[in-house]
Structure 1
Amino acid sequence: MKFTFIGAGAIGGVVGAYLAKAGEDVTLVDINEAHIKAIQDKGLAIETLDETFVVDVKAKTVNELLDEGGELDVVVLAVKAQHTQAAVENIVPLLTENSVVVSMQNGLTENVIAEIIGEERTIGSFVNLFADYQEPGLIQYGGVGAMYIGELDGARTDRIVEIERRLQAWGNAEVTDNIYGYLWSKLAYGAILTATATVDEKMADTLDPIDNREMFVEVATEVLKVAEKVGVEPLGFNNWEPNTVYPKGKERDWDAINEQFDRIVGLLRTYKKVKTGIWRDLAVHKRKTEVPFHLGPVIEKGEKFGLDMTLTQKILDMIVELEEGRREMTKENIEELKTLSEEKYS
C-alpha cells in the first residue's frame, strides 16, 4: 500500500510520521509550502511528552502532487472540514477504481467525500488524539487517544483489515462496524470541548468545576438526541461514555456522570496539549475554525426533527463572534451558556 496524506498538520502529520518511521510508503501533501519545504529539507519533527524524533518522509505541495500526476492508492484526508470538498475534487483525476479515501477529520465529512467519489471508495475513521502544528517541520503530539476505522456500510473487508494492520505503526487502531457511532459520539464530546474554547483556560480547568457540568451535559445531550433520531448508536471512547450523559428515557445518574468527568479531567491533565485546536485557531492563528462545519449540520438535522438545539446554536454563534472579533474570550462566555442551560432545561 502507498499512503498519501492530504493535510500534514496535527493529525495527518502525526499518523503519517509514525507510518513512515515504520517503513511504510508515505507521502505528505499540504498547501503550507513552508511546512513542506521544511520537511523536504530536514524531515518532520514530532515532539512528544517523552522525546522529539525526526522522520525522513516524502513531502509535496498540492501543486507538486497535481503537476506530477500518477495514480493514488490509499489517500488519508486530514484537512479541516471546510476544505473537504475542494481537497477531494482536486485529487479525483488521480484516483482509480481501486483507490480509497480515508477521512481522518472531525465532523461528518465522510458524507461529503462519498457524494463526490462514491461510498465504495470512502472509508470513515474516528481519530481522537491531541496534537498541534507548531511551526514548519514541527508538530507537537500531546497525547495518544484512540482510532477506529470502518467501511460506511459496516462491512469487514480485506482492505479495511489491511489498513488496520498498517496503522498499528501509530498505535492501537481498530476496525469497527459502527463508524458513525464513534463519529456522532465525538460530535457530542467535541461540542463540549468547543465550549471550552470560548475561554482562555485549559480544557481540564473548565471541565473540572462541578457547577459547569450540567451545562456541558445538556450540550452533549442535544447532539446525542439528534444521533438517536438518525438511528445511530453512539459508542464510548477514552473515558467518554455517551450513554451515561444521555441515558435515553432514564434519569441521569449524576454520581456516574461526575465520575466520568473526573476521569476525563484526569486524562486531559496528562496531555501535553492542554487547549483545543479550536482555541489555537482563534487565539494563536487568528483564523476561522471548522466549528460551523461540525455543529452546523447537527443543528440543521436537529431542527428538522423538531429538537431544541439552543445551546449548540449558542456555542456556534459564540465561536463565529470570536472569529469576527465581536466577542472576547472570557469566563463570562461559560457563565452565559450556564444561564441559558438553566433557562432551557432546569
Structure 2
Amino acid sequence: MRYIIIGAGAIGGTVGGRLAESGHDVVLVARGAHYEAVRENGLRVRTADGTSVHRLPVVRTPEELGELNADDVLFLAVKTQDCAAALDAWSGRPVAGGGTAGEVLPLVCAQNGVESERIALRRFRRVYGMCVWLPATHVEPGSVSAAGAPYTGILHLGRYPGGTDDTARLVSADLEKSKLHSPVVADVMRWKYGKLLANLANSIEAVTGVLAGDDAIALYRRARAEGEAVLAAAGIEAVGEQEQKEARGDRVSFEPFDGSERGGGSSWQSLSRGTGTIEADYLNGEIALLGRLHGVPTPVNDALQAVANAFARERREAGSMPVSELLALVARSEAS
C-alpha cells in the first residue's frame, strides 16, 4: 500500500517518516514554507532513535500527484477546521482501475475531536477513525519531532462509525512495523471521545503555556467535568482516564531530547506558527455544542473556546496570558 499523508505536520510528518523508515511508499502533502523546505531539503524527523532526513515525494495539491492507485491509503492529518477543504480536493480524484477516491479508497482520519469522521463520511464511503496519542511537535518548516519511546505513539484504529475490517488490520500491521502501536478496535469513537475530554486542556495550554500549577490544572478539571456531564446527557460513552492509562502502559514514555520541558501541544503549536486558526471549535466547542443540544450549561468550555479563537484570530503569542487573567474570563462566563 502507498500512504498519501494529507497534512505532513506534527502527526502526519511523524507517521509518514516512520512508515518510510520501515520501507513503505509514502507521499507527503504540505503547503507554504513547509512544502518548500521538504521539497528542497527533505523532511527532517527527530525521534528517540535519532534524526533522519526523508527525501519523499511531496505535493501541494492532488493535481500535482495525478491519478491515484487502487491500493492507496489516504491519511488525513490536517486540523479539523481544514478537513472539509482537503476532503473536497481529494474525494473526486480518479483512481486507476475506475472510480474516485471518495468511492473506492480508504480514508483514515487522524485528528483530535470527533467531527472529522462525520465530515469525511459525506464525501468518502470508506472512513476510518484514529485516536491519536502521539506527542509530536511541528513549529519549524521542514522539521517534525516526536520523543515517545519505545513506541513513538499509540494510534487506535477502526471503521467509522464502528467495526473493523481487513484494511484496518493491514494498516495497523504497517504502523506496528513502524514503531507506532496501533490497536484495531471496533469502538474507535469511544476512544476518540475519551481523547476529546483530555484535549479540553489544549486551549488552556495554548493561551497560558504548558499546563502547570494548581490553578491551571483545576481549571482543566472543571472543563473536563462539564465535558463528562455533557457526554452523559447525550448518552455518549467515552474511555476513562484509567483505561487510557492502562492502554498506554509503558509503551510510550515521553523524554525530551535535551532534558528540557516539553513544548506545547497541537493548539499551542498552531498559535506558535501564527496560522490564524485553532481547533478549539472542535474541542471545547464540541462540548459547548452538545451542551446546547442537551440542556447542559458549559460556561468554562464556552470561555476557553472564545479566548483560544481570539488568540488565533489576533495572532497573539502562545502562552502569553496569565492564568489569573484566564480565570477571570471564565468567571465572567459563569456569571453571565
| Coarse TM-score class (shorter-chain normalised) | 0.7 to 0.9
Instruction: Decide whether the 8 Å contact of 2:276 with 2:315 is kept in 1.
Output: no
Number of the residue aligned with 1:222:
226
Name 1:103's counterpart in structure 2: 109
Please tell me whether residue 4 in structure 1 is matched to residue 11 in structure 2: no
The worse-fitting range, judged by mean Cα deviation, of 329-338 and 302-311 is 329-338
* Deviation of 1:111 (Å): 0.7
SS in 2 for 1:175: coil
- The structural deviation recorded for 1:283 is 4.0
The alignment status of 1:131 with 2:139, answered yes or no, reads no
Q: Please report the TM-score for the alignment, with normalisation by the length of structure 2.
A: 0.82
- Counterpart residue number, 2:238: 234
Q: Show the counterpart of 1:251.
A: none
Structure 2 gaps of 5+ residues are 94-100, 247-252
Q: Structure 1, residues 270-320: CA drift from partner, whole Å, max 9, x if none?
A: 886421232232244262212123332331121110001111001011112
Unaligned runs of 5+ in 1: 243-265
Secondary structure in 2 matching 1:197: helix
- On the 8 A contact 1:6/1:75 being kept in 2, the answer is yes
CA contact (8 A) 2:274 2:312 kept: no
**Where do 1:117-196 residues align within 5 Å?**
117-118=124-125, 121-143=126-148, 144-168=152-176, 169-196=178-205
Answering whether residue 123 of structure 2 is matched by residue 116 of structure 1, we say: yes
What is the aligned partner in structure 2 of residue 333 from structure 1?
325
Seen in structure 2, the aligned counterparts of structure 1 residues 283 and 41 have a Cα distance that, compared at 3 Å, is: closer
Amino acid at match of 2:174: R
- What is the RMSD computed on CA atoms of the aligned residues? 3.0
Percent identity, aligned pairs only, is: 26
For the residues of structure 2 that align with 1:124 and 1:55, how far apart are their CA atoms?
27
Displacement of 1:240 = 5.3
Whether the 8 Å CA contact 1:130–1:273 is kept in 2: the answer is: no
Tell me which moved more, 144-153 or 267-276: 267-276
* 309 and 52 in structure 1: CA distance in 2 versus 1, 3 angstrom threshold: same
Residue-by-residue CA offset, 1:196-243 (whole Å, 9 max, x unaligned): 2221x323xx2xx3454433222112112222233332114698569x
Query: CA distance change for structure 1 residues 57 and 337 in 2, over 3 Å: closer, same or farther?
Result: same
2:108 partner amino acid: V
Which region of structure 1 is more displaced relative to structure 2, 297-306 or 311-320?
Answer: 297-306
Q: How far is the alpha carbon of 1:153 from its aligned partner?
A: 3.9
